[in-house]
C-alpha cells in the first residue's frame, strides 16, 4: 500500500474532508446530527503490520528498513524527540523508493500540562516535531494529554485541550500534513483519557489535525469491547498498538490470551488502513527475530479469521 | 415477549451468569483476558417499545397500561421515588396477566455523592426503592453517579463507586432480582459518566446487579457512534432512552434528523431485548396520541432497515 492511498482513505486526510466541518465521512453517510454512520468502507481494510524502532533487528537505519520490507511489514514507527530531530535527513533518504510508510512517532511525548502556565511551553515543545513529521509524511505524533495527577479538574482540562492546547497542536499538524494522535492509556496513568470512544469524541471536537489511536494492551484493561471501541473511533482512528495480552510482550507469547479477532473485526468494519504496530517487550534471552516472524504469522491468521 | 425471557437473555440475569465472575457472555465466548467477544446472539434482538409514565395517555394505572398494550408497546417505564412507594400494590395488581414488562424506574435519582460523608445516606435512600423494584420484577433503577461539580476527583470517585457506594447498591439490587442502571449523561451535567463504554466498564468492574443504559439524546452529543457505543455495552445494556435528535421530543418530529438505524444495527448485533423508551417532550398543542403512534411506526420501520 502506498502512503498516499492510506492518507486518501484514512484519518489524516479524512479530518480535512469534512462533513459539517468536523466529521470524516462522505457527506451522504452523515446524518444531520453530525454523527458518522457506519457504512461499508469505500476501500477494504488492510493489515499493515509495523514495528517500533527499538524492536527492529539491526543497528543502522537501512538495516532496519530492509528487515521490515523483507518480512512482511508495511510501516515503521519512529522515535520522537531528539532522535527525530537528529535523523530527519537520513530517514528521508533511507525511505526513498520503499513501499513502507512512516506511521507515528512515539517517544518522550508525555503531555503533562495540568498547570495553565505551562501549557504554552508544552505546545511550543511539540510544534517543531510536528513540522518534521510532516516532511517525513508521517501519520502523526502520539500524545496523551494530562498524565496522571490526582484530583484533576477534568471539565476545565477537556475544554482547554479542545479549544486551546490541543487545538493549536492539531492546527499546526494539519498545516504540515500530519496529525496529533491521542492515545488513551490506563486509569493508573491518567483518568483523563482511558477509552478510545472518548479520544474519538475529543478528536471530533478538535477537528482537522487530530486523530485517535487504540492500544490493545490498554484497551484490554479499560474497554469492554475491542470492536465497539474501534467502531467508535471510525475514520478518526489513525494508529493501533498491539502486544501480548497477559504480559505486554510480542503477540503470540501469551498463548490463547493473544486473541485479536474481535478487534480485527472492528478494524475491518471501519475500513482501517493504518498501521498495527508492536508496542511490547520480548522475553529474556528469546530469539527476537523468530518471535517477530511468529507474530506476523499469527496476526495474519487472525486477520483472515476476522 | 415475556419478562422472564428478557431476564434470561439479557443483562439482569446476565450479570449473574458469569465468566471470570464478571462477564456476561457464554464461557466459550470469553477469552482469557476476560473481555466479552461479540458473537451472534443466542436469541435475536427485539424492539420492545416503551413509554415513560408521564407520557402515556390516560390518568388511571389501568388506562395507561391498556393504552400501551393496545398500541404495540412491550414495556413501561415507571417513576421512582414517592410515586413508586405509593403505588407498588396497585401496580402489581394492574400488571397481572399482561404481556408488558416493567422496564426501569426513572425519577428523582440524582446521585450527587461527591462528599464522602453523604455517601452512606445516598445509598440508604435508594435501597428500599430497589427492594420495591425487585417485587415488581423491574429491570432496574436508573441512576447517574456524581452529578456535576467542577473539579471532582474522578479517580477517587470512580474507585469509591466501584468498590463501595455503587457496589453496595448493586449487591442489594442483585439480591432482590433487579439492578442499578447507570445512565451516561452529557458533560454539562456531569463529566464523571458521559459515554456508554465507560458506564459499561464501571458496570463490568462492579459485577452482578449493575447494568448500563444508553440514551440516544445524550449519545448524539457525547458519542461518535451509536453502534460502537451499544457494542461496547454488549449484554450489560439493560435499557435505552430515545428522543428526537434536534429538540429532544417524540421521535419523528425532527424529520430526517431522527435516524436511529445505525444505533439499531448495534442493538441487533448485541441481541438486545430490553426496552427502547421515549424520554422526550411533545410539541405544544400537539395531538400527543397521534405523535406516539407515528413514533411507533417510524421506529418499527427503522428497526426493519437496521
**A204 and chain B: CB distance < 8 Å anywhere?**
yes
How does residue A80 score in pLDDT terms, banded at 50, 70 and 90?
A: very high
The answer to whether the CB of A182 falls within 8 A of the CB of A144 is: yes
Mean pLDDT score, A31-36: 40
How does residue A156 score in pLDDT terms, banded at 50, 70 and 90?
A: confident
Query: Do the chains contact at B197 and A223, CB–CB below 8 Å?
Result: yes
Residue of B150, B220, B229 with shortest CB distance to A228: B229
The reported pLDDT for the residue numbered A116 is 75
The nearest CA of chain B is from the CA of A187 a distance in Å of 8
**A237 and chain B: CB distance < 8 Å anywhere?**
no
Domain assignment present for A35: no
The reported pLDDT for the residue numbered B156 is 79
Q: Considering only residues 8 to 67 of chain B, which have any Cβ-Cβ distance to chain A shorter than 8 Å?
A: 31-33, 35-38
State how far Cα A116 lies from the chain centre: 27
Query: Do the chains contact at B35 and A201, CB–CB below 8 Å?
Result: no
C-alpha cell at B49: 417499545
C-alpha cell at A220: 484490554
Residue of A224, A256, A257 with shortest CB distance to B234: A224
At residue A165's C-alpha, the angle toward residues A80 and A144, to 5°, is: 45
pLDDT digits (tens, 9 = 90+) for A235-270: 999 999 999 999 999 999 999 999 999 999 999 999
Question: Among A221, A202, A189, A258, which residue's Cα sits nearest to residue A213?
Answer: A202
The reported pLDDT for the residue numbered A9 is 39
Mean pLDDT score, A145-173: 82
Is the per-residue pLDDT at B283 higher than 70? Answer: yes
How does residue A151 score in pLDDT terms, banded at 50, 70 and 90?
A: low
The reported pLDDT for the residue numbered B122 is 84
Query: Do the chains contact at B220 and A35, CB–CB below 8 Å?
Result: yes
Q: What is the helix (H) or strand (E) element at residue A189, kind and residue range?
A: none
- Phi/psi at A145 (5° precision): -70, 150
Helices (H), chain B: 3-9, 11-14, 61-70, 82-95, 119-135, 154-160, 166-175, 196-206, 216-222, 226-233, 261-269, 288-305
Is the per-residue pLDDT at B34 higher than 70? Answer: no
What is d(CA B253, CA B257) in angstroms, rounded to the nearest whole number? 9
Cell 527525530 locates to A84
Domain assignment present for A75: yes
**B220 and chain A: CB distance < 8 Å anywhere?**
yes
Is the per-residue pLDDT at B31 higher than 80? Answer: no
Domain assignment present for A122: yes
How does residue B250 score in pLDDT terms, banded at 50, 70 and 90?
A: very high
Residue of B150, B201, B220 with shortest CB distance to A224: B201
What's the sign of the alpha-carbon dihedral A215, A218, A220, A226? negative
Query: Do the chains contact at A38 and B246, CB–CB below 8 Å?
Result: no
The answer to whether the CB of A248 falls within 8 A of the CB of A217 is: yes
What is d(CA A155, CA B278) in angstroms, rounded to the nearest whole number? 29
pLDDT digits (tens, 9 = 90+) for A212-234: 999 999 999 999 999 999 999 99
The reported pLDDT for the residue numbered A148 is 55
Which of A224, A251, A259 is best to mutate for the B interface (most B CBs within 10 A)?
Answer: A224
What is d(CA A221, CA A278) in angstroms, rounded to the nearest whole number? 17
The reported pLDDT for the residue numbered A27 is 29
pLDDT digits (tens, 9 = 90+) for A125-143: 899 999 999 999 999 999 9
Is the per-residue pLDDT at B185 higher than 70? Answer: yes
Residue of B200, B246, B256 with shortest CB distance to A224: B200
SS3 of chain A: helix, strand, coil, percent, to 5: 45, 15, 40
Domain assignment present for A33: no
Question: Among B45, B1, B58, which residue's Cα sits nearest to residue B292?
Answer: B58
**A262 and chain B: CB distance < 8 Å anywhere?**
yes
3-class secondary-structure state, position A249:
strand
pLDDT digits (tens, 9 = 90+) for B129-170: 999 999 999 999 999 887 756 555 677 788 889 999 999 999
Domain assignment present for A230: yes
Q: Count structural domains, chain B.
A: 1
Residue B104 belongs to domain with CATH number: 3.20.20.150
The reported pLDDT for the residue numbered A144 is 87
State how far Cα B290 lies from the chain centre: 25
Question: Among B120, B110, B195, which residue's Cα sits nearest to residue B148?
Answer: B110
Position with higher pLDDT, B132 vs B118: B132
Q: How many separate helices (H) and strands (E) can be counted in chain B?
A: 12, 9
Query: Do the chains contact at B198 and A198, CB–CB below 8 Å?
Result: yes
| ipTM of the predicted assembly exceeds 0.95 | no
Domain assignment present for B276: yes
Is the per-residue pLDDT at B2 higher than 60? Answer: no
% of chain B surpassing 70 pLDDT: 83
What is the average pLDDT value for chain B, to the nearest integer? 86
The reported pLDDT for the residue numbered B121 is 86
How does residue A12 score in pLDDT terms, banded at 50, 70 and 90?
A: very low
Is the per-residue pLDDT at B110 higher than 70? Answer: no
What is d(CA A205, CA A200) in angstroms, rounded to the nearest whole number? 8
Query: Do the chains contact at B232 and A232, CB–CB below 8 Å?
Result: yes
Bridge partners, A237 (sequence order): A212
Which of B40, B192, B228 is best to mutate for the A interface (most A CBs within 10 A)?
Answer: B228
- Phi/psi at A209 (5° precision): 95, -5
Mean pLDDT score, A171-181: 97
Residue of B197, B259, B261 with shortest CB distance to A228: B197
The reported pLDDT for the residue numbered B3 is 42
User: What pTM was computed for the model?
Assistant: 0.87
What is the average pLDDT value for chain A, to the nearest integer? 86
What is d(CA B131, CA B178) in angstroms, rounded to the nearest whole number? 8
Burial class of residue B157 (count of CB atoms within 10 Å of its CB; 0-12, 13-18, 19+): buried
For the CA atoms of chain B, what is the radius of gyration? Answer: 18
**B97 and chain A: CB distance < 8 Å anywhere?**
no
Domain assignment present for B222: yes
Domain assignment present for B258: yes
Is the per-residue pLDDT at B196 higher than 60? Answer: yes
Is the per-residue pLDDT at A30 higher than 70? Answer: no
What is d(CA B110, CA B266) in angstroms, rounded to the nearest whole number? 28
Residue in B closest to A237 by C-alpha: B224
Is the per-residue pLDDT at A280 higher than 60? Answer: yes
What is d(CA B195, CA B212) in angstroms, rounded to the nearest whole number? 10
The answer to whether the CB of A202 falls within 8 A of the CB of A239 is: no
Which residues of chain B are within 8 Å of residue A40 when distances are taken between CB atoms?
Answer: none
**A271 lies in which domain range?**
3-22+42-305
Which of A194, A196, A210, A228 is best to mutate for the B interface (most B CBs within 10 A)?
Answer: A228
Query: Do the chains contact at A228 and B226, CB–CB below 8 Å?
Result: no
Q: Considering only residues 108 to 147 of chain A, which have any Cβ-Cβ distance to chain B shorter than 8 Å?
A: none
What is d(CA A47, CA A28) in angstroms, rounded to the nearest whole number? 27
State how far Cα B229 lies from the chain centre: 14
Query: Do the chains contact at A223 and B191, CB–CB below 8 Å?
Result: no
The reported pLDDT for the residue numbered B9 is 39
At residue A233's C-alpha, the angle toward residues B278 and A282, to 5°, is: 135
The answer to whether the CB of B251 falls within 8 A of the CB of B281 is: no
The number of CA neighbours under 13 Å toward the Cβ of B6 is: 27
Which of A225, A230, A245, A257 is best to mutate for the B interface (most B CBs within 10 A)?
Answer: A225
| Range name among A38-42, A123-127, A248-252, B188-192 with the lowest pLDDT average | A38-42
Mean pLDDT score, A19-24: 25
What is d(CA B157, CA B192) in angstroms, rounded to the nearest whole number? 9
What is d(CA A266, CA A271) in angstroms, rounded to the nearest whole number? 9
The reported pLDDT for the residue numbered B298 is 98
Which of B225, B255, B256 is best to mutate for the A interface (most A CBs within 10 A)?
Answer: B225
The reported pLDDT for the residue numbered A40 is 67
Amino acid at each position: 500500500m502506498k502512503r498516499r492511498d492510506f492518507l486518501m482513505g484514512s484519518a489524516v486526510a479524512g479530518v480535512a474532508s469534512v462533513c459539517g466541518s468536523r466529521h470524516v465521512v462522505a457527506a451522504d453517510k452523515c446524518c444531520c446530527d453530525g454523527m458518522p454512520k457506519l457504512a461499508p468502507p469505500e476501500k477494504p481494510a488492510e493489515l499493515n503490520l509495523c514495528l517500533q524502532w527499538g524492536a527492529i533487528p539491526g543497528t543502522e537505519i537501512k538495516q532496519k528498513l530492509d528487515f521490515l520490507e523483507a518480512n512482511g511489514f508495511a510501516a515503521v514507527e519512529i522515535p520522537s524527540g531528539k532522535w527525530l530531530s537528529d535523523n530527519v535527513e537520513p530517514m528521508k533518504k533511507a525511505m526513498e523508493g520503499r513501499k513502507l510508510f512512516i506511521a507515528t512517532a512515539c517517544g518522550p511525548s508525555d503531555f503533562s500540562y495540568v498547570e495553565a502556565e505551562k501549557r504554552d511551553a508544552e505546545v511550543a515543545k511539540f510544534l517543531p516535531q510536528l513540522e518534521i513529521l510532516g516532511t517525513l509524511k508521517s501519520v502523526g505524533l502520539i500524545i496523551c494529554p494530562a498524565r496522571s495527577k490526582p484530583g484533576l479538574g477534568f471539565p476545565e482540562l477537556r475544554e482547554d485541550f479542545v479549544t486551546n492546547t490541543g487545538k493549536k497542536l492539531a492546527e499546526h499538524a494539519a498545516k504540515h500534513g500530519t496529525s496529533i494522535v491521542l492515545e488513551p492509556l490506563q486509569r493508573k496513568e491518567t483518568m483523563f483519557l482511558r477509552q478510545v470512544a472518548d479520544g474519538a469524541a475529543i478528536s471530533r471536537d478538535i477537528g482537522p489535525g487530530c486523530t485517535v489511536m487504540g492500544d490493545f494492551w490498554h484497551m484490554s484493561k479499560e474497554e469492554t469491547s475491542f470492536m465497539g471501541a474501534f467502531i467508535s473511533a471510525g475514520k478518526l482512528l489513525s494508529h493501533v498498538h498491539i502486544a501480548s495480552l497477559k504480559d505486554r510482550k510480542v503477540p503470540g507469547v501469551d498463548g490463547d490470551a493473544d486473541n485479536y479477532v474481535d478487534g480485527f473485526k472492528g478494524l475491518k468494519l471501519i475500513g482501517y488502513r493504518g498501521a498495527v504496530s508492536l508496542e511490547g517487550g520480548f522475553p529474556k534471552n528469546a530469539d527476537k527475530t523468530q518471535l517477530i516472524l511468529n507474530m506476523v504469522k499469527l496476526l495474519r491468521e487472525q486477520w483472515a479469521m476476522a
